């Protein structure tokens, strides 16, 4: 390599080392691979094997993410978690510390230098130091809409600016509107072992796939709209027959409103003891959260019961406006009650035993909105079957379809939305397989 190229590599290494707030951008797998490659180019061993291996690792890391180096770098900036991004979500830009803004300006200028050193440039340097007749293959992928719609304006802004440091205010506005970190990158998460775990592939169920219970659906949609618009929304209990679509309805809300900053956070009953901690961590971020608790019920003296009660009823801490609980249950009374629990005149253990029992029975009333999902009768069940079959484009007479659907319900789990979905999925797969086998045989 000539002296000018070596000086460029050294400059890039200094720029990466000088980052004040955005160090995680170059501390991820791709960032480390990029810096390792610069180091290998600068200090090439005799046969350049280390340099070639470093380039191969860099190529593999980008290919695994299906991103170009430039796209990766900007995406990391938009989703970064650091003191600036956290405060930018909570405060107006004018109220941010001048030192913090100056640090961001410095980091953006440094990151722009790394951005401008493309994979093609790195490939040419590797060719030079390894004395190859041709340059190594350059990883490149055409833009395919990986970035979210709201990211495009800021990405284009950075790409067009001569100095990225001039984009600090626009970047702060982006963080304030769309947030950062896991909540910006993923629409669905779960709370597990004291941390948020992203769900890369959430359930794809759509609202138009769910038939029946129209009044319940309308009430849940309206309440969710309240949440998204910043109004006071109610905690909701969805209870009723198994397989009636309670959980699917909640999951479908994410696919309906995910692009409007709605997030679905799944919390298992065993993790409800952390609910107050979870709520406090959600309080200061711009997204709106449905805390989803599926198949809810409690045993007596359950810590989860106490934790949920605090969130539903509130305490001295103000309730956050961006988080509500949607819980499903097959039980109207969420706390199991036994005949032995009922007080008798001879009961000397507790003076106000009836009060205790009433507290158990009325716990579900602490939800602001209770939606009841009764079992599907034959008319409703067949209505769901016809709707799902039409969506699946099943070519069969209505008479045969309904006859087979009723037989399926009798032999399996009874009439319900879940049973209808299972029947239609099985029928579609069976018909598709039969046509394929018939076609192969004829050929």
User: Domain check: are 235 and 326 in the same one?
Assistant: yes
**Cβ-contact 295, 261 below 8 angstroms:** no
The half-sphere exposure of 228 on its side-chain side, counting CA atoms within 13 A, is 17
* Residue 312 confidence (pLDDT): 77
Residue 390 CB partners (closer than 8 Å, separation 6+): none
Q: Are residues 221 and 120 in the same domain?
A: no
DSSP string, 8-31: HHHHHHHHHHT-SS-GGGGTSHHH
Q: How many domains does the chain have?
A: 3
Same domain, yes or no, for 210 and 170? no
> Of 334, 356, 373, which residue constitutes the final position of a domain?
373
Sign of the Cα torsion 331, 332, 334, 336 reads: negative
Mark which of 179, 207, 222 sits at the end of a domain: 179
Predicted local distance difference test score (pLDDT) of residue 317: 61
Whether residues 367 and 382 share a domain: the answer is: no
Residues 67 and 9 in one domain: yes
pLDDT tens digits for 29-50? 999 999 999 999 999 887 899 9
Residues 168 and 288 in one domain: no
Say if residue 399 is in the same domain as residue 367. Answer: no
Same-domain pairing of 399 and 350: no
Using 70 as the pLDDT threshold, list the residues of the chain that sit under it.
143-152, 298-305, 314-318, 331-365, 436-443
Give pLDDT, residue 26: 94
- pLDDT by residue (tens digit) across 227-269? 999 999 999 999 887 878 899 999 999 999 998 999 999 999 8
Return the pLDDT at 375: 79
Show which of 179, 212, 247 is a domain's final residue: 179
Residues 54 and 97 in one domain: yes
The residues near 224 (Cβ < 8 Å, ≥ 6 apart) are: 233, 253, 257, 262, 290
pLDDT at 441 (0 to 100): 58
Whether residue 386 is found in the same domain as residue 431: yes
Residues 359 and 390 both lie in one domain: no
Q: Around 19, how many Cα atoms within 13 Å sit in the side-chain half-sphere?
A: 20
Q: What is the CATH number of the domain that holds 221?
A: 3.40.50.300
- Domain extent, residue 437, equals 378-442
Neighbours of 424 (CB within 10 A): 23
CA 67, chain centre distance (Å): 20
Same domain, 159 and 244: no
Residue 432 confidence (pLDDT): 83
């Amino acid at each position: 390599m000539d002296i000018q190229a070596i000086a460029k590599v050294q400059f890039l290494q200094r720029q990466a080392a000088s980052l004040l707030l955005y160090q995680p951008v170059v501390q991820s797998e791709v960032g480390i691979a990029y810096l390792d490659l610069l180091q290998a180019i600068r200090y090439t061993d005799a046969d350049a094997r280390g340099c070639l291996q470093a380039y191969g690792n860099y190529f593999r890391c980008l290919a695994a993410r299906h991103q170009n180096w430039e796209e990766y770098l900007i995406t990391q900036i938009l989703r970064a978690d650091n003191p600036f991004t956290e405060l930018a979500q909570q405060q107006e830009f004018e109220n941010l510390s001048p030192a913090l803004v100056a640090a961001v300006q410095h980091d953006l200028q440094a990151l722009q230098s790394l951005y401008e050193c493309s994979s093609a440039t790195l490939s040419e340097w590797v060719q030079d130091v390894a004395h190859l007749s041709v340059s190594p293959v350059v990883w490149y992928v055409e833009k395919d809409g990986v970035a979210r719609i709201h990211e495009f304006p800021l990405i284009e802004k950075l790409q067009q600016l001569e100095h990225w440091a001039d984009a600090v205010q626009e970047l702060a506005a982006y963080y304030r509107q769309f947030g950062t970190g896991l909540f910006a990158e993923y629409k669905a998460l779960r709370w597990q072992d004291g941390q948020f775990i992203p769900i890369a592939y959430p359930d794809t169920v759509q609202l138009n796939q769910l038939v029946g219970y129209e009044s319940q659906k309308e009430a849940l949609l309206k309440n969710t709209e309240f949440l998204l618009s910043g109004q006071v929304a109610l905690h909701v209990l969805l209870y009723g027959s198994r397989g009636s679509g309670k959980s699917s309805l909640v999951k479908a809300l994410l696919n309906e409103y995910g692009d409007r900053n709605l997030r679905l956070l799944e919390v298992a009953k065993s993790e409800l003891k952390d609910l107050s901690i979870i709520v406090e961590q959600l309080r200061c971020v711009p997204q709106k959260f449905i805390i989803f608790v599926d198949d809810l019920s409690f045993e007596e003296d359950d810590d989860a019961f106490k934790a949920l009660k605090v969130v539903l009823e509130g305490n001295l801490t103000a309730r956050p406006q961006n988080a509500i609980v949607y819980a499903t249950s097959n039980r109207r009374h969420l706390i199991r009650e036994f005949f032995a629990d009922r007080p008798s005149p001879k009961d000397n253990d507790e003076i106000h035993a009836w009060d205790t029992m009433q507290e158990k029975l009325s716990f579900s009333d602490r939800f602001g909105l209770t939606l009841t999902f009764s079992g599907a009768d034959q008319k409703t069940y067949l209505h769901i079957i016809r709707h799902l079959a039409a969506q699946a484009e099943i070519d069969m007479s209505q008479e045969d379809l309904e006859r087979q659907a009723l037989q399926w319900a009798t032999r399996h789990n009874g009439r319900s939305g879940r049973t209808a979905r299972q029947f239609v999925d099985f029928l579609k797969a069976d018909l598709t397989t039969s046509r394929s086998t018939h076609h192969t045989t004829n050929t």
